[in-house]
Amino acid sequence: MTHAPARPLNLLVAGGGIGGLASAYVLGRSGHNVTVLEQAGTFGEIGAGIQLGPNIFKMFEYLGLTDAVSRVAFFPPGLGMNDVRTGEKVIRVPLGEAALAAYGYPYGVIYRVDLHQVFLEACQALPNISLRTSSKVESFDQDASRVSVRIAGGKTLQGDALVGADGLWSRIRERVVGDGKPRVSGHIAYRAVLKREDVPQHLWNDDVLLWGGEKTHLVHYPLRRGELFNLVAVFHSNKYDEGWNTFGDTAELNERFSQAVPQVKELLGKIQTWKMWVLCDREPVKNWSDRRVTLLGDAAHPMLQYLAQGAGQAIEDAVVLAEALRFTGGGVEQAFQKYQQARYLRTGRVQLTARFYGDIYHASGVQRELRNQLFRSGKESAGFAGLKWMYDGIDPKNLFT
């Protein structure tokens, strides 16, 4: 269902990733005219799997995309953690009916490419959304009534507002926040996806399973209805390389997991080529808007992947932004202030909690023993119990009064 605003706005969105397309779809669905500016020659995604918590499925329901997502997602029966050196089970949290009972929405996993495609097709179905490729935003200017965006090649586009959804290295953020380069965490991630037939049956597991160890962890789970198997290995490293598409060093990876249990080593050995990226985030900020320009997703609040919420928080952003514009009747500057006011504490909490969970997963010595003891006792949980505030999500219909 679309909602015609009092005055349709002409909105520019910088970035055609999941956050950019999600915002374009929500804003277009609300009746605004949206132009998405993607710097690449085609719309596409790289990366591996994404975990989708109940808070994200709540957004899919609001956007009418639940069926489209469910057709390409996988719904694991549990979320578990084992010790990477001893193999002992630290904790397992049932999902499936347990997630539905607790939150009314499921917990799923999806191939990043597939989620991006869902939003791309949703945008393509709306005539008021224009999708432009080879349109890298070089600079922008604004006055009291409009924003002018200059793209590579010299062309200038104008709109009522600009949404910067251009990721961790956002050029829009440079102007709006001006806080320099992202914070390098010292953690590096190797990712790969296997076909089901390439995974021996004794190594296959339908759960989202994390093997945690000293400054290392491996997480794996099925993708695309169980046709694929996603693996992400993370360890502490001094290496630094901007971007998401760099080939990894297999020798370093094997050295970091040299003390792992045999099944972990066997899984790692099934991968011939790994892509790697350096994990970065930023300090939470309270303001990411400047009059008719605002930020969304990683451009506003990049976070480490330990809570699997990066894409989900960008989708929540998109919904809140559209609702803020609806509430203000299209008053851009007022809406952008309401949008960030409604979001900055929640996204900041996710950013900081993700750092903390990285420490939990990579604990050693007494910290490791204490983690295992607490999780096994049931008094603390790596799953739903400690993250109810996050998985409860937001109520799109009652954001502003």
Q: Which residues pair with 234 in a beta bridge?
A: 189, 217
Q: Which residue has the tokens 């950013």?
A: 351
Residue 71, SS3 per DSSP: coil
The whole-angstrom separation of Cα 170 and Cα 173 is 5
Is the separation of the CB atoms in 20 and 165 below 8 Å? yes
Where b means 16+ CB within 10 Å and e means fewer, 85-124 reads beeeebbbbbbeebbeebbebbbbbbbbbbbbbbbbebbe
The whole-angstrom separation of Cα 255 and Cα 257 is 5
Alpha-helix residue ranges (DSSP H) falling in 71-111: 97-103
203 CB contacts (<8 Å, ≥6 apart)? 263, 266, 267, 270
Pairing mode, strands 216-223 and 228-236? antiparallel
Residue 318 phi, psi (nearest 5): -60, -45
Task: Mark whether 221 is an active-site residue.
Answer: yes
Q: Which two tokens stand for residue 130?
A: 């224009």
Pairing mode, strands 10-14 and 161-164? parallel
Alpha-helix residue ranges (DSSP H) falling in 140-249: 171-176
DSSP 244-294: S-EEP-HHHHHHHTTTS-HHHHHHHHT-S--EEEEEEE----S--EETTEE
115 CB contacts (<8 Å, ≥6 apart)? 18, 45, 50, 52, 69, 72, 311
The whole-angstrom separation of Cα 150 and Cα 206 is 47
For the chain, helix (H) and strand (E) counts, in that order, are: 12, 19
The whole-angstrom separation of Cα 129 and Cα 33 is 6
Which among 25, 221, 306, 339 is annotated as catalytic? 221
Q: Which residues are catalytic?
A: 221
